[in-house]
Structure 1
């Protein structure tokens, strides 16, 4: 667990510090990649990328989180208490929603400007640029779903497909934000690192739900003399 938290925390902290020292402006490599994207946007590609980028906002990420919750219940042996089952289904949704609040707060605190509005296409983003909300949300949703699939004991070929599609979708959503001109590349990298950090902090907590004392525990000891023969 330490590595899954410390590594993304350090990388996110270093990236954020570098951007702050640089005045939150784009690094040369970011400007070059942005310019390339703006210069290579045929209409068919923009339409395709516009569909991809929508996977990182609105309903799709929450559908993935709900699916992860149901997998947690199924793979955990379906606890008898209904409240526990509901809590397990809702836990990934709470992780995603709370993460979005965290990301939004950091975005406002950092206040990195977006690329010029003249370079935007097929998107009308709001707020500041770093870290990317779409990249973060898609990565957290994908991470929740992949984690729920891999922790199950009854895996089949479908699990490989889910893991591969989830990972590719998260990467594609992040890259789509650069292609549409609404984010600098390091915004996307920051969104991915923050997602990794958030998942590292929260995923170990979800399995603890079915260990709640309210869900039962070891039977109480019998009263003194209960087993005596008179």
Structure 2
């Protein structure tokens, strides 16, 4: 688990450095953005980007937390809640520090994408909470689809640069790997999951 977390954080640091120094990755980012902005119907891209709004994503996580709490997964619920609370604590200072303008907006504060971060942690946390109780492994693919759809909507509508979204996924991917590891540890400590020595 440590290597994937470190890999995500190192790639995130590389992208952040490129954004700060206006390096070659930033130039590629601007070109890629020019190819995707405005593609597809505006109502669809706006709707997809709204999946990252706190008014949409947080209720999904809260419902999953309530369900898991009812099933007795208190530590897992706490881990998911802490992960969601960490998002603004990480993202807001980075937005202020990098002060990157948006593709269609000269005001700053676009790196990393807050909507992408919220979507990944809310839907990912909900999936982790529901997985032990799902008959099939559907929560994770659904969370991935919702997270990717949010990022696609943000790019197509011109709300964010591609690197803004990618950086959010890397940063919050590391956070979700740590959260998943904490949940696995807490589940292995529950009395029901222990096997008696024979």
> Following the alignment from structure 2 to structure 1, what is the Cα–Cα distance between the partners of residues 32 and 100?
18
- Please tell me whether the aligned partners of residues 119 and 146 of structure 2 are also in contact (alpha carbons under 8 angstroms): yes
1:17 counterpart = 2:17: yes
Q: Please give the alpha-carbon distance, in whole angstroms, between the structure 1 residues aligned to 2:53 and 2:141.
A: 20
Q: Is the 8 A contact 1:66 1:90 kept in 2?
A: no
Q: How far apart, in 2, do the equivalents of 1:88 and 1:205 lie?
A: 8
Structure 1 Cα separation of the partners of residues 38 and 152 of structure 2: 15
- Cα distance in 2, alignment partners of residues 178 and 108 from structure 1: 21
- Determine helix, strand or coil for the equivalent of 2:149: helix
Q: CA deviation at 1:117?
A: 2.7
Checking the alignment, whether the CA contact within 8 Å between 1:69 and 1:91 is kept in structure 2 is no
Q: Kindly tell me: are residues 163 and 88 of structure 1, through their superposed partners in 2, closer, same or farther at Cα, counting changes over 3 Å?
A: closer
Partner of 1:111: 99
- Quick one: which of 81, 88, 97 aligns to 1:100? 88
Report the counterpart of residue 6 of structure 2 in structure 1. Answer: 6
* Superposed CA RMSD: 2.9
Mapped partners of 1:39, 1:167: distance in 2: 23
Shift of 1:166: 1.6
Structure 1 unaligned blocks of 5 or more: 80-84, 119-125, 212-230
Runs of 5+ consecutive residues of structure 2 not aligned to the other structure:
190-198
Contact 2:54 2:118 in 1 (8 A): no
Contact 1:114/1:183 (<8 A) preserved: yes
- 1:126-173: per-residue Cα shift (whole Å, max 9, x none)? 7511101111111111221222233x1x4314x42x322221110010
CA contact (8 A) 1:135 1:192 kept: yes
| Structure-1 residue corresponding to 2:109 | 128
SS at match of 2:56: helix
What's the offset of the Cα at 1:21?
Answer: 2.4
Report the number of matched residues: 189
Partner of 1:189 in structure 2? 166
- Computing the radius of gyration from Cα coordinates, the structure with the larger value is 1
Q: Deviations over 1:209-228 (max 9, x none)?
A: 997xxxxxxxxxxxxxxxxx
Asked whether 1:169 is paired with 2:131, we answer no
SS at match of 2:37: helix
What is residue 30 of structure 2 aligned with on the other side?
A: 31
TM-score scaled to structure 1, two decimals?
0.70
The CA distance in 2 between the partners of 1:209 and 1:66, in whole Å, is 20
More helix by share: 2
After TM superposition, the score normalised by the length of structure 2 is 0.79
User: How far apart are residue 26 of structure 1 and its match?
Assistant: 7.3
